[in-house]
Homo-oligomer: A and B are copies of this chain.
Amino acid sequence: MKKAHIISIGNELLIGDTVNTNATWIGRFLNSEGFSVERVLTLPDTYDLLRDQLSDSFAAAELTIVTGGLGPTHDDITKRVVADMFNSELVTDPNVLDHIKSIFRRRDFEFSQSNADQALVPNNCSVLFNKKGTAPGLWFSENGHVIAVLPGVPHEMKYLVENEIRPRLEGEFPDRPAKTLQYFHTAGVPESTLSDNVIGDLSEFLNNGLEVAYLPNAGGVKIRVGYVGEDPDTAEDQMLRFRKLVLERATDVIYGEGRDCELAAVLGDLLVKQKKTISVAESCTGGRLSDIITNVPGCSRYMVGGVIAYSNEVKMEQLKVSKKDLEKHGAVSCPVALQMARGAAHLHDSSIGVSTTGIAGPGGGTADKPVGTVWMGFWINGNHFALKAVLTDDREVNKQRTVMIVLETVRRTLLGITHFPYNLTPVYP
């Protein structure tokens, strides 16, 4: 496979002010284009360091993608570094200059010398025309090795990768192998249980060139499978057999396949298919559940509405939670979760109502109800139950996990799957 390096430039990345999501995005792009990404480097805006490393990468990897340091200010030196590396002269590109001027006219900003300097490009590179911003990308190719330099602004970088880099890869590296990756997305089962008990021994596949990774994230655990051997026929055969085995052993906990798959979107499709509507009543998740549901475009087909019931008054007045139960059992309790879910469904006239009430933390725990105690209520076409989970001492993690358990519980129930996420036991009214 062709080797690729990714180099991200900027002090804000090194001192931890900005998370390097550009490198993640480019890594994924290169991987899907059949490159083996062998290193990601983040460097400061320092001439000598940049020049050394860019030269090293250009020699070691067939393709190097560099982002950042192309802006108009004094600390942006990437263009100078590559121009010197390739003994270029900097010349004004008239198309780029026109484009920059038109951006400034449209925004009614003053045009200065430093803006004009952005149209200066090395005379021995291909210019990657940047419709989305003022800094053009640069493409240098020599003896089968390429270095592409892009602005660090994420949407400009992505535009240039999709529209200028991708088409050039065909011409420059025509003989790349197609790399197939399979993904299986699971929810409601811990990583070790999934690998040791649900999926179990895979040595036969590993010995035949498959590489299997379990990747836990906020929403569950993703299984990634790729073929790293040499024989394309074996690859296809092994991948098919692996998929069959995984679906046999883990079908109930897999909510989707493919590289990108969101549980909320899968549930949304299911709700549309089954002609159901959903509404929510949130206390400890405070809006996160509604937010995740409404991140899915087109969700207005099934999402009716919700209540953020932070105070007991809202729980009683809008959701018809009994005052007696609130006083006797407290807001974080099974009867309150049950009543909130039913109350949400009735208030919104939806087929499904779900609720959350818990101690998100970091404070507010007691001996009986430690931080992380969460009750979730469900009213699914009249099927009425509650689940209790004891999560972590981290507010953010507790919000995420609660949302995941609620969505996965609705998904499984709608599909008639009778065991619950994390083997939680339902409590009926």
Contacts and interface: CB of A to CB of B under 8 A. Distances in A.
Contact of A291 (B49, B192, B291, B347): B291
A295 B306 contact: no
A300 B295 contact: no
Contacts of A43: 38-39
A12, A310, A347: residue with the most chain B Cβ atoms closer than 10 Å: A310
A125 interface: no
Contacts of A396: 295
A290 interface: yes
A40 B41 contact: yes
Contacts of A44: 37-39
Contact of A309 (B217, B292, B305, B399): B305
A270 interface: no
Contacts of A347: 318
A308 interface: yes
A27 B13 contact: yes
A297 interface: yes
B308 A280 contact: yes
A42 interface: yes
Interface stretch (A14-22, A136-144, A167-175, A229-237): A14-22
A122 B5 CA distance: 32
A182 interface: no
Contacts of A290: 282, 286-287, 290-291, 308
A109 B192 contact: yes
Contacts of A287: 282, 287-294, 306, 308
Interface in A1-58: 11-21, 23-31, 37-44, 46, 49, 53
A348 interface: yes
B38 A41 contact: no
Contact of A14 (B38, B215, B217, B304): B38
A365 interface: no
A399 B288 CA distance: 13
Contacts of A297: 360-363, 395
Counting every copy of the chain, the complex holds: 2
A330 interface: no
Contact of A213 (B12, B282, B299, B313): B12
A412 interface: no
Contacts of A42: 23, 39-41
Given A287-B294, A300-B311, A310-B304, A26 B18 contact: no
A19 B13 contact: no
Contacts of A30: 15
Nearest to A11: B213
B20 A23 contact: yes
Contact of A13 (B29, B40, B294): B40
A303 interface: yes
Given A21-B19, A306-B307, A291 B300 contact: no
Nearest to A74: B206
Contact of A286 (B31, B294, B363, B395): B294
Contacts of A26: 16
A276 to B, nearest CB: 15
Contacts of A14: 27, 31, 37-40
B41 A15 contact: no
B17 A298 contact: no
A311 B306 contact: no
Interface of A: 11-21, 23-31, 37-44, 46, 49, 53, 109, 192, 196, 213, 215, 217, 222, 224, 280, 282, 285-295, 297-300, 303-311, 313-314, 318, 347-349, 360-363, 395-396, 399
29 contacts: A14-B31, A14-B37, A14-B39, A14-B40, A15-B28, A15-B30, A16-B26, A16-B29, A17-B215, A18-B24, A19-B21, A19-B24, A38-B46, A39-B43, A40-B41, A285-B291, A286-B290, A286-B291, A287-B287, A287-B289, A287-B292, A287-B293, A290-B290, A294-B308, A297-B363, A305-B308, A305-B311, A305-B314, A313-B349
